[in-house]
Structure 1
C-alpha cells in the first residue's frame, strides 16, 4: 500500500513538472552586438528581470552577433512571430520607422544628462516614438529606448583630426538616407552597407571609413582593419528595445507590465554600460599600439551639420520630437 501511494505521489509530481514545462514560454531575443556590448548587457538585464518576475514562467533566450540575421531581417521575422524581441540601433530600423532618422543627426544631444532625460520611458521623446510604432501598423511594439555609447569615426587610411581630412573618404553608412547627408556635408563619400559586412569591406577597400560606438569597434575587432580612431563624438547612440506584436498579444496585462518595467531597467543598463565601455575599452588598444588615436576639433563638424537639424526634422515629420529634445533642461 505504501509503495503504491509513493508511486502515485511521484507520478503526480512528474505530471505537475511536465505541466509546468508545457506552460513555460521561451521568447527569442536577437541582437547584433558581440561582447562586450551594451546591447548584450541590456538583454541580460531584461532576461533576468522578466524571468525573476514570472518565476521562470517566461524565459528569454538571447541570440547575439546577428546569429538570427541582421536587424532589418530580424524585424521582418518579428512581424511573422518567428523572433520575439530585438535590441539594436535605431539606424537599422529606419526602413520600418523613418522617424528614427532623427537620431542620425550629428550633435543632436548636447550632454549625457540631456540624453538620459530623453530616454526616460515616461518622457515626451519615448512617448512620441511609442505613437510612431502604434501608427505604423508594422506589427511591432516599442518597449523602450536606450543608449549604446558615443559614436566616433574610424578608418584604415590615415589620421583624421579635422573635417578637411575626410575629403573623398569612402564612408560606410547604414541604410538611413540622413546618415549619408550628414557625412556628405562633412566631405566624405557615403557608401551604404550592412554593419555585418563592414569588416570585409574595409579589408577589400570597398569602404575605408565608418562610425560606430567604441564597444562595437572593439567587440567586432574592427581595429584590426581600421586602426585610425578619431574622437568626433558626433552622436549619442540611440537604441531600441522592441517586441513582436504577436508575442505582445500573448501576454497578460500583468506580464505586459512586467516587460515594461524590465525594459526600463534594461534601458538604464544600456546607457550606463555604453558610458563604461567608452571609457575603458579603447585605451588598452592605444597603449599597445593597435589603435592610433586622433583628437578632433569638433567645432567645424558642428558648424556644418547644425543648420541641417531643423531641415531634416521637418522632412521626416519629427519637428515635434526635435523641439522636445531642445526643451530638455
Structure 2
C-alpha cells in the first residue's frame, strides 16, 4: 500500500504542473491582422514578416492570425473596425486611408516616385514614416500607423491598349477613394468611378467601367486579366500601404510589448517593399506565359506633362502634413 504522504506529494506536483500549463496558455494572446488581398501578395508578405518577428520577440506569447481576401471587410470597413477596437491590426492602401485622413492621399500623387528604388528607399525612411505617423495621429482617432508597405506600382488595364495619355480619354476608370485620383484621371480626360475593390472584376466584365488600375501581381492573383486582357505599364502611381494598430490594443500593451510590436512592424517597412517588387516581376513573367497582352512602351511623358504641375498644387491643397510628406519623399535620392 502506498504511503499517503507520497500520494499527496504526487497530487500536489501534478496540480502544480497543470496550473503552470494553464497559466502559460492564458499568457498566449491571439490577434487578428486583416486585409482585402489574396495570399501571395504584398499584403500577405507583410503579415508573414510581422507575425513571425512578433512571435519570436514575444517568445510565442503574441500570435497574429491572418484574415485575407476581405474576410472581415473591404479596406474602408477595416479602418473602421480598427478605429473601434474590434480589429487589432490591418494593412490598408494609403489611398483608401484618405477616407479617414484625407491628407493620406499625398501618397497617391501621380509620378511622385521616380522608380522602384525610390519607392523602396522612401518607405523605409525614418523621417517619412514619422511624418506619416504624425499625420494619422493628428487627423484620425482610434488607430496608429506602425509601418509602411507596398504592392509595387499601379498600371492601367482594360480591353484596349493604352500607348499615350490620349488613349484614356472618355474611358470610365475605377479609382480608389482619394481626391487626388478624382483630379488626376479627369485631367487625363477619363471619368472616375468609385467602388470597393471586390466589385472591380464584375464591373469590368459588365462594362460598368472600361478601365481599372493596380499593381501587376494584384491584377494576376485576382484574375482581372480574364475581363481586362490588356495590361498597360503606365507606372503612374506607387501602390503604397499603411499598417495600423488599434489604439485600444496599443493602450493595453506594456512598454515591452509595444517595443516588440514596433520592432516587428519596422521589419515590414525595411523588407516587404523589395519583396513586393519581386512579386511584380514574377507576376509579369506568368502573365506573358499566359499570353496576356502587356503594353510596356507607354509614352509616360504624355502623362507626366499633365501630372507634374499638380504635384505641388495637390499636396498643398491636402494640407501641411501632406506637403511635408511630399517634400520628404521628393528629397530622397
Aligned partner of 2:108 in structure 1 is: 104
Cα distance in structure 2, aligned partners of 1:162 and 1:26: 49
Contact 1:121–1:264 (Cα < 8 Å) also in 2: no
Contact 2:101–2:140 (Cα < 8 Å) also in 1: no
Cα distance in structure 2, aligned partners of 1:270 and 1:33: 15
Cα distance in structure 1, aligned partners of 2:116 and 2:244: 23
Q: Give 2:95's match in structure 1, choosing from 91, 94, 97.
A: 91
Deviations 1:181-215 (A, max 9, x none): 11111121111111111111111111121110112
Q: Give 1:31's match in structure 2, choosing from 27, 30, 35.
A: 35
Contact 1:41–1:269 (Cα < 8 Å) also in 2: no
Cα distance in structure 2, aligned partners of 1:139 and 1:288: 45
1:233 counterpart SS class: strand
Contact 1:152–1:212 (Cα < 8 Å) also in 2: yes
Structure 1 residue 137: Cα displacement: 4.2
Structure 1 residue 42: Cα displacement: 0.8
Aligned partner of 1:231 in structure 2 is: 233
| RMSD between superposed Cα atoms in Å | 1.4
Aligned partner of 2:151 in structure 1 is: 148
Aligned partner of 1:75 in structure 2 is: 79
| Structure 1, 13-22 or 245-254: larger mean CA deviation | 13-22
Cα distance in structure 2, aligned partners of 1:55 and 1:68: 28
1:247-258 matches, cutoff 5 A: 247-258=249-260
Cα distance in structure 1, aligned partners of 2:7 and 2:220: 62
Contact 1:121–1:145 (Cα < 8 Å) also in 2: no
Contact 2:148–2:243 (Cα < 8 Å) also in 1: yes
Q: Give 2:282's match in structure 1, choosing from 276, 280, 283.
A: 280
TM-score (normalised: structure 2): 0.94
1:319 counterpart SS class: helix
Aligned partner of 2:14 in structure 1 is: 10
Equivalent pairs, count = 326
Contact 1:286–1:292 (Cα < 8 Å) also in 2: yes
1:280 counterpart SS class: helix
Structure 1 residue 4: Cα displacement: 4.0
Contact 1:38–1:269 (Cα < 8 Å) also in 2: no
Q: Give 1:59's match in structure 2, choosing from 57, 63, 68.
A: 63
Largest Rg, 1 or 2: 2
Aligned partner of 1:174 in structure 2 is: 176
Contact 2:148–2:268 (Cα < 8 Å) also in 1: no
TM-score (normalised: structure 1): 0.95
Aligned partner of 2:130 in structure 1 is: 127
Aligned partner of 1:294 in structure 2 is: 295
Cα distance in structure 2, aligned partners of 1:174 and 1:288: 28
Structure 1 residue 25: Cα displacement: 1.5
| Structure 1, 187-196 or 279-288: larger mean CA deviation | 279-288
Aligned partner of 2:117 in structure 1 is: 113
Aligned partner of 1:187 in structure 2 is: 189
Structure 1 residue 3: Cα displacement: 4.4
Contact 1:152–1:232 (Cα < 8 Å) also in 2: yes
Deviations 1:74-124 (A, max 9, x none): 11111221100001211111011111111121110113333233212522x
